[in-house]
Chains A and B, each alone.
Chain A
Amino acid sequence: MSDTIEDSRGSLSDVHPGGPAFYALAGVRLWTKDCRLVSQAGEDYDGTYGKWLDVNGISRRSVRVSAEHCSQHILKYDKVDGTFNWRSLYGQENLGFLKTTPEQIEEAVTESTAGFYLAQNTDRIFWNKLADIKSRRNIKMMWELEHTGEDALRRVRNVISIADMWSLNLSEASMLFDIPREREEDIINLIMKMPVEMTLFRVGKRGAYCVTPTDAVFCPSIDIAESVDPTGCGNCSTGAAMFAHLEGHSPAEVVAIANISAGFNAAQFGPYPLFTEDDMSRAQTLLKETIKNMAN
């Protein structure tokens, strides 16, 4: 899903590769090369996403070209509260046609796959298929909450036990639990009762919490350079949190790793362009410093 950012005067940025899966992949890639994009794309993906995958050493094997164009959205941010509106260039139908299916996820799973990230709604049929795949292939799932429509909490409760990890932001949580945004502690208490091992609860520019059934650890956001564009930071941090949790990191490390990935992502429009060995080392150093600061 490519993005163009519209500023307050109506000027448009260049087209940047993006979309939940792509940003989540970038979040993981900062920490490991052992990751893969499982997506359906337009044939125009080659010069943007394809190039990014190539330079970052990620296989194109699970990218299926199914249409002429990748989905493209024009995002307009509210300067005050950081929320954004969007409109779709090729339409919602194109977006739906290019949605990754459970069958495509299973095709991409290998013996060494530990888990997968997915931004998804609450459709039962889709989730039942995911449940079958998870049980057949013994893999874990990070679910980033997508638009859930009416009766959201009931619909979320219907499927969330199939996921192992969960990610949502403050606005989504406030609407889902019907609790004002200011009452973050009450929201966290309800998140702790959800049947998942770990939740990344993102509170915007301030940072994020790693919430488990017994604990909630806050980590402020981490800038690695001037923050230029927040697009995809939630996806990016969610992908990184999945990696960290599945690699056995502590909740403090999980949320620090998530925020460091988001920091790399915010430093430019679109995803971080090239993850070098130096970047990966820098991320590890930042992690150590952050954990030290959190302990003080």
Chain B
Amino acid sequence: MDYLVAGNVMVDSVRFQDGRTSDRKNMGGPAPFAYSGVRVWTDDARLVCNVGADFTTYFNEWINKNRVDLSGIKVKCDHCNHSYLVYYDDGTYGQDDQSVHFRTDWMQDLGYLKTTPEEIGEHSMNSPAKGLYLAQNVDHVFWKKLGDIKRRDKFKIMWEIEGPSSYSMYMDDVLNAMESVDAFSINLQEAQNLFDVKTEEECIRKIQALPVEYTLFRVGKKGAYSVTPKTSVFVPSLSFGIEQDPTGCGNTSTGSALYAYCEGFDEYQIGVMANVASALNVRQFGLIPDFSDVRTAAIEMTVKYCAGSDWGKAGIKR
């Protein structure tokens, strides 16, 4: 299996300031969104996740339609985590306190359902992988174990840093985690908190000093920077004409960037492919519903944007 996508699965409810809401609970969570970012380009991907028994209630149609490999899914408790998001007018979001929450102890379940390094290792050992996506904090024990598994099974790691870990007081811990990381993903607010700086330019300079080969630096609706230690290129966000719900766009674009990075695309192409996946994700509440339906359009849009750029001289390497 070329790509492993590990981490939390969520069932999302979304509310916007103008009163719009999703009329149902949506499939989501960092891992499924990132998985969909990979699946835009390839079927060779596996979710490595712990879920509640209601996983199939919310995900079954999507699983069947997309022939999702379930060999990495473990049912560990009654319910998936339910997340209640509210989007503010400035594009930021938070937990929606106005919602009637499904359960009161979901943060504990979030921890209980967290994918462990051992669970990732079960899959990377038996089925060599090119790359792993993981949204994760900076816990040293976790990264020590994951680093050992990575060195044993020789795959690349795309780390999407979790918001609560992205503060300057954790910089030493971030650098410790990065000893095992190849590619990194962070949004503007997280970067400002992590580096104690304000502007995008300052963030980019700090990112370039990090010991990783590649960083997807997401700056919201504007787009993303594709950053290496020596280069930085801005890729504006792309659109397929419909913008319904931004939930999971960061995860989706990060999953897509993992694929593009591991397949050897250049920085600009990685950025374009990240934004193409994000543009597909924003078209509906929840996950991209049918990957076979969007792959051709995704490739066409990538070719279109990369062909006209100095960065795309080599074209799409496939």
Contacts and interface: CB of A to CB of B under 8 A. Distances in A.
A265 to B, nearest CB: 25
Contact of A96 (B52, B109, B141): B109
A112 to B, nearest CB: 27
B141 A92 contact: no
A149 B140 contact: no
| Chain A CB within 10 A, most for which of B112, B114, B116, B140 | B112
Contact of B110 (A43, A93, A101, A123): A93
Interface string A118-140: 00010111100000000000000
Contacts of B116: 66
B28 to A, nearest CB: 18
Given A66-B141, A92-B111, 9 more contacts: A67-B139, A93-B111, A96-B107, A96-B108, A96-B109, A97-B114, A125-B52, A125-B78, A149-B104
A255 to B, nearest CB: 31
A99 interface: yes
Contacts of B78: 123-125
Contacts of B108: 92-93, 95-96, 99
A97 B105 contact: no
Given A42-B141, A68-B140, A98-B111, A123 B103 contact: no
B169 interface: no
The 3 closest A-B pairs by CB, nearest first: A96-B111, A97-B111, A92-B107
A101 B142 contact: no
A168 B73 CA distance: 35
A92 B106 CA distance: 9
Nearest to B76: A125
B314 interface: no
Nearest to A124: B78
A96 B140 contact: no
B299 interface: no
Nearest to A71: B111
Contacts of B113: 96
- Please classify the interface of chain B as helix (H, G, I), strand (E, B), loop, or mixed, using the class held by over half of its residues: mixed
B315 to A, nearest CB: 44
A101 B53 CA distance: 16
Interface string B110-122: 1111101000000
B172 to A, nearest CB: 13
Contacts of A91: 107, 111
| Chain B CB within 10 A, most for which of A93, A123, A125 | A93
Nearest to A99: B112
Contact of A126 (B77, B105, B139, B140): B77
A125 B140 contact: no
Given A93-B111, A97-B114, A125 B141 contact: no
A268 interface: no
Nearest to B118: A66
A99 B105 CA distance: 13
| Chain A CB within 10 A, most for which of B103, B105, B111 | B111
Contacts, number: 61
B70 interface: no
Nearest to B109: A96
Nearest to B79: A123
B179 to A, nearest CB: 15
9 contacts: A67-B139, A92-B110, A93-B111, A96-B110, A96-B114, A123-B78, A125-B52, A125-B75, A125-B76
A286 B103 CA distance: 45
A277 B248 CA distance: 60
Contacts of B142: 66-67
Interface string A50-73: 000000000000000111100000
Nearest to A98: B111
Contacts of B77: 123, 125-126
Nearest to B110: A93
A68 B139 contact: yes
Contacts of B110: 92-93, 96
A96 B112 contact: yes
A195 B271 CA distance: 61
Interface in A25-56: 42-43
Contacts of A97: 111-112, 114
A42 B141 CA distance: 8
Contacts of A93: 107-108, 110-111, 114
A43 B111 contact: no
A93 B109 CA distance: 7
A213 to B, nearest CB: 29
Contacts of B109: 96
A68 B172 CA distance: 14
Nearest to A148: B105
Interface string B84-115: 00000000000000000001110111111110
